[in-house]
Structure 1
Amino acid sequence: MRLIGNIIWFLLGGFIMGLIWWGFGIIAFCTIVGIPWGRSCFVIGQFSFFPFGKQTISRKELLGKSDIGTGTLGLIGNIIWILVAGIWLAIGHILSAVACALTIIGIPFAIQHIKLAVVSLAPVGQTVVSNEVADATRRSRADQELSKMRS
């Protein structure tokens, strides 16, 4: 089912939005200062090509430790990102979601566009993993929190 969803997604708009992400990534890399944003653009752009079966997750949540993109600098980077490119990518995904939601068959695609719109507002510090890895990470973190509460 994921394969079919990804193929339909790719043909009916995922390809365009992925290219737009990569376009912003190329622009960011050209500025040199924008390399962290460019890296995020390429990761999320790849995700935008084939999103079914994958999720974005904070690297801090995944790895259990902070890095430069998940701390204060990442927050500042995401604020700058929203003002420069994030809002435009979010608008593109929201418009695509509305177009997809006009048909019953398009509703799952609209949901994916909404998820990508949220990610487009704060991509720095995020990574893409399979649904299974994201679920296992969240389960593990929940188990750790529950153990802390019980002791």
Structure 2
Amino acid sequence: MNFLGNVIWIIFGGIFIFFEYIIGGLLLCLTIVGIPFGIQCFKFAIVGLAPFGVRITHTASATGCLSTVMNIIWLVFGGLWIALTHLLFGIVFCITIVGIPFGRQHFKLMNLAFSPFGKSIS
């Protein structure tokens, strides 16, 4: 079922989400300061390409409060808009019964958009 969901996701827009996050990640990686944020965009690209069957988990890191500071910077400079976009698409997809699984995937991406630092994809 995950395979079929991912194929339908890719056909109806998942490939565009993937390329947007890849391009954004490459642009962010052009500067040394933007590399950690670019890596998070690549994390979004992986989930954006095939979100069905992907689990996002919170990881305890030994970096202390650095991930919290990076999440705040992320949220202020674009993460909020990404999260709101995924919220809007999630609500639109959940209007119909057929779209509910796709709306749930957008809600998963919205959760990741709020705080990508300190989370891993499995």
Question: TM-score of the superposition, structure 2-length normalised?
Answer: 0.90
Q: Which residue in 2 is equivalent to 1:67? A: 62
SS of the residue corresponding to residue 51 of structure 2 reads: coil
Identity of aligned residues (%): 36
Provide the aligned C-alpha RMSD in A. Answer: 1.4
| Structure 1 residue corresponding to 2:117, chosen from 114, 124, 127 | 124
Tell me which amino acid in the other structure corresponds to 1:67. A
Q: Which residue in 2 is equivalent to 1:90? A: 83
Deviation at 1:95, TM superposition (A): 2.0
Which runs of 5 or more structure 1 residues have no equivalent in the other structure? 61-65, 130-151
- Post-superposition CA distance 1:50-89 (Å, at most 9, x none): 01111111222xxxxx233xx3111000000001120121
Q: Which residue in 2 is equivalent to 1:40? A: 40
Question: TM-score of the superposition, structure 1-length normalised?
Answer: 0.74
Which runs of 5 or more structure 2 residues have no equivalent in the other structure? none
Q: Distance in 2 between matches of 1:81 and 1:108?
A: 27
Q: Which residue in 2 is equivalent to 1:20? A: 20
Please tell me whether Structure 1 or Structure 2 has the larger radius of gyration of its CA atoms: 1
Query: Does the CA contact (< 8 Å) of 1:40 and 1:124 recur in 2?
Result: yes
Higher-helix-fraction structure? 1
Question: In the alignment, is residue 105 of structure 1 matched against residue 105 of structure 2?
Answer: no
Q: Distance in 2 between matches of 1:124 and 1:86?
A: 11
